């Protein structure tokens, strides 16, 4: 290929990539080599919308269903552990073996005191927030930090005529749109605010809290956030419960003011292309049992029936990072993720009320790895001049050429509108690519601008056995450049 056709090829590639910016989900099936989906048989004639999921140190799996049951899987045998709960959307196996569920009205500790296999004590651990019987007022969590505190997040309401709303979602008070903390002895305190539909909450192995929020009003595209005490995350209605604010003052506040106040997401999750309604982050702590992605973050999406990875970077001491699709083709809407002690990734699913690409209304699946080393992007780090992309296998140096890559960038408009299109979408010209001596890391140079999502496509890369990657697009949220 001479230089002119090469340049033409690159320019066509860029044009086609940019012109297809209308946000579309991938139309093909993708998965890394060596990974497969196993469908778990759920109890017969049970509405098994699995919205709470955790496993024990001895391998049992507990599932809370939206219908209100808690089921326990031991080997291949299901038993019902508890029932009658109010649409739980989270479950934690606590250190003492008791189960804590996030019902809409409360966190409840379930204890089987007589050891007959069924909970006989339903103890209120916390319930200091207000639930107003609105269908959208979910309680997500609980997760625990290293000090033993519990955390949860409270969804805003929808269609509640009494609620304070500046768009689609609203709050009738009682800490809707807040994250909260509960100490081991049950003391409740509001922790952070400005949340919308924070359906996924997780603690990292280091004890840091992260959460996902769903695209909608004041959330231009779905987000992955570091959750920190006393911070505002962008949806203004919960400010009405903060000192110094009135509903009228909030209504009158220009969007630019909220924009400056809000925390930036660690990663923006492109709508449709990666996720519409992300669930909880799960950290692969299996030390290699799940393949080469040890330590990384996996998140499911309820609408796209897929799983994507979050690749963390730390720039100037602050987290930012990227998202990349991992697998799709799940049977229903992926809302809960959990790694068990064998390093299998369990996925709790529901599609009720909010449709999912997978056609089934509910279910439980798991992702297993057969030991084959896949060829995929492993990580991405910002450099002063571009990015370093590390891969899971050695790369064929012949494929490391500028025309193996295309890059584009954009930003989103933060407002009360329901989501945002890509704004200021432009191609970015990569100026140089090179391969590390261990053949696993590609350095790509390009001009960098802060406050952009940078999408890098690498369809032309091949490993040394000629494999291309299963997923060829990574989306890096470039909040800031290296100082």
Question: 290-319 mask for other proteins (x: CB under 8 A)?
Answer: ------------------------------
By the rule CB under 8 A, 439 interacts with other proteins: no
By the rule CB under 8 A, 43 interacts with other proteins: no
The residue (of 216 and 379) whose beta carbon lies closer to other proteins is: 216
CA angle 320, 323, 328 (to 5 degrees): 165
Sole binder of other proteins in the list 35, 131, 362, 375 (CB under 8 A): 131
By the rule CB under 8 A, 83 interacts with other proteins: yes
Sole binder of other proteins in the list 2, 4, 58, 84 (CB under 8 A): 84
Q: What is the size of the binding site for other proteins (CB under 8 A)?
A: 28
Stretch that binds other proteins, among 1-9, 79-87, 232-240, 273-281 (CB under 8 A): 79-87
By the rule CB under 8 A, 178 interacts with other proteins: no
Sole binder of other proteins in the list 11, 34, 46, 47 (CB under 8 A): 47
Sole binder of other proteins in the list 85, 102, 126, 282 (CB under 8 A): 85
In DSSP terms, 224 is beta-bridged to 212, 267
By the rule CB under 8 A, 133 interacts with other proteins: yes
By the rule CB under 8 A, 184 interacts with other proteins: no
The residue (of 47 and 247) whose beta carbon lies closer to other proteins is: 47
Min dist CB 124 to other proteins, Å, is: 6
The residue (of 66 and 473) whose beta carbon lies closer to other proteins is: 66
By the rule CB under 8 A, 135 interacts with other proteins: yes
Contact 369, 387 (CB under 8 A): no
Min dist CB 466 to other proteins, Å, is: 43
Sole binder of other proteins in the list 26, 34, 43, 127 (CB under 8 A): 127
By the rule CB under 8 A, 87 interacts with other proteins: yes
Sole binder of other proteins in the list 30, 67, 414, 418 (CB under 8 A): 67
Alpha-carbon span 316 to 255, nearest angstrom: 27
Alpha-carbon span 355 to 459, nearest angstrom: 31
Question: Three-state secondary structure along the chain?
Answer: CCHHHHHHHHHHHHHHHHHCCCCCCCCCCCCCCCEEEEECCCCCCCCCCEEEEEECCCCCEEEEECCCCEEEEECCEEEEEECCCCCCECEEECCCCCEEEECCCCEEEEECCCCCCCCCEEEEEECCCCCCCCCCCCEEEEEECCCCCEEEEECCEECCCCCEECCCEEECCCCCCEEEEECCCCCEEEEEECCCCCCEEEECCCCCEEEEECCEECECCEEEEECCCCCECCCHHHHHHCCCCCHHHHHHCCHHHHHHHCCCCCEEECECCCECCEEEEEECCCCCCCCCCCCCEEEEECCCCEEEEEEEEEECCEEEEEEEEEECCCCCCEEEEEECCCCCEEEEEECCCCCCCCCCCEEEEEEEECCCCCCCEEEEEECCCEEEEEECCCECHHHCCHHHCEEEEEEECCCCCECCCEEEEEEECCCEEEECCCCCEEEEECCCCCCEEEEEECCCCCECCCCCCCCCEEEEEECCCCC
Stretch that binds other proteins, among 65-73, 394-402, 438-446, 472-480 (CB under 8 A): 65-73
Question: 95-114 mask for other proteins (x: CB under 8 A)?
Answer: --------x-xx-------x
Min dist CB 87 to other proteins, Å, is: 7
Min dist CB 307 to other proteins, Å, is: 24
Q: Which of residues 350-379 bind other proteins (CB under 8 A)?
A: 352-354
Min dist CB 308 to other proteins, Å, is: 25
Min dist CB 196 to other proteins, Å, is: 17
In DSSP terms, 413 is beta-bridged to none
By the rule CB under 8 A, 66 interacts with other proteins: yes
As a residue count, the chain comes to 483
Q: Which of residues 208-247 bind other proteins (CB under 8 A)?
A: none
By the rule CB under 8 A, 477 interacts with other proteins: no
Stretch that binds other proteins, among 36-44, 133-141, 218-226, 240-248 (CB under 8 A): 133-141
The residue (of 172 and 406) whose beta carbon lies closer to other proteins is: 172
Positions in the binding site for other proteins (CB under 8 A): 47, 66-68, 83-87, 103, 105-106, 114, 120-124, 127, 131-133, 135-136, 159, 352-354
């Amino acid at each position: 290929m001479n230089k002119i056709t090469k340049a033409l090829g690159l320019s066509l590639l860029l044009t086609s990539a940019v012109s297809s910016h209308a946000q579309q989900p991938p139309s093909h099936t993708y998965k890394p080599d060596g990974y497969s989906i196993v469908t778990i048989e759920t109890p017969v004639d049970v509405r098994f919308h699995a919205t709470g999921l955790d496993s024990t140190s001895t391998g049992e799996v507990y599932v809370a269903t939206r219908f209100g049951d808690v089921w326990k899987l031991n080997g291949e045998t299901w038993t019902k552990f508890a029932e009658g709960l109010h649409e739980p959307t989270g479950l934690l196996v606590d250190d003492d073996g008791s189960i804590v569920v996030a019902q809409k009205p409360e966190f409840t500790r379930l204890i089987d005191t007589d050891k007959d296999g069924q909970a006989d004590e339903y103890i209120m651990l916390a319930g200091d927030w207000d639930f107003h019987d609105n269908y959208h007022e979910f309680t997500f969590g609980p997760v625990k930090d290293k000090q033993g505190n519990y955390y949860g997040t409270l969804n805003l309401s929808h269609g509640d005529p009494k609620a304070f709303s500046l768009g689609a979602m609203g709050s009738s008070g009682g800490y809707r749109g807040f994250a909260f903390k509960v100490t081991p002895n049950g003391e409740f305190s509001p922790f952070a605010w400005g949340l919308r539909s924070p359906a996924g909450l997780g603690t990292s192995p280091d004890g840091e809290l992260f959460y996902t929020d769903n695209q909608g009003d004041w959330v231009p595209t779905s987000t992955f956030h570091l959750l920190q005490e006393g911070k505002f995350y962008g949806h203004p209605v919960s400010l009405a419960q903060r000192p110094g604010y009135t509903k009228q003052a909030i209504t009158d506040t220009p969007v630019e003011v909220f924009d400056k106040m809000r925390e930036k997401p660690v990663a923006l999750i492109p709508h449709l292309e990666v996720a519409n309604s992300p669930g909880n982050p799960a950290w692969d702590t299996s030390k290699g049992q799940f393949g080469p992605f040890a330590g990384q973050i996996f998140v499911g999406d309820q609408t796209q029936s897929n799983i994507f990875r979050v690749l963390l970077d730390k720039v100037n001491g602050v987290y930012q990072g990227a998202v990349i699709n991992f697998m799709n083709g799940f049977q229903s809407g992926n809302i809960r993720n959990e790694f068990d002690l064998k390093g299998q990734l369990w996925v709790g699913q529901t599609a009720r009320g909010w449709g999912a690409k997978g056609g089934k209304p509910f279910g439980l699946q798991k992702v297993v790895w057969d030991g084959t080393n896949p060829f995929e992007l492993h990580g991405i780090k910002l450099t002063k001049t571009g990015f370093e992309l590390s891969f899971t296998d050695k790369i064929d140096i012949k494929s490391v050429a500028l025309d193996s890559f295309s890059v584009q960038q954009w930003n989103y408009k933060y407002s009360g509108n329901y989501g945002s299109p890509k704004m200021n979408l432009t191609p970015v010209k990569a100026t140089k690519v090179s391969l590390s001596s261990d053949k696993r890391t590609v350095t790509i140079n390009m001009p960098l601008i802060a406050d952009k999502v940078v999408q890098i496509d690498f369809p032309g890369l091949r490993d040394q056995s000629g494999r291309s990657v299963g997923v060829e697009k990574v989306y890096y949220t470039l909040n800031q450049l290296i100082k």
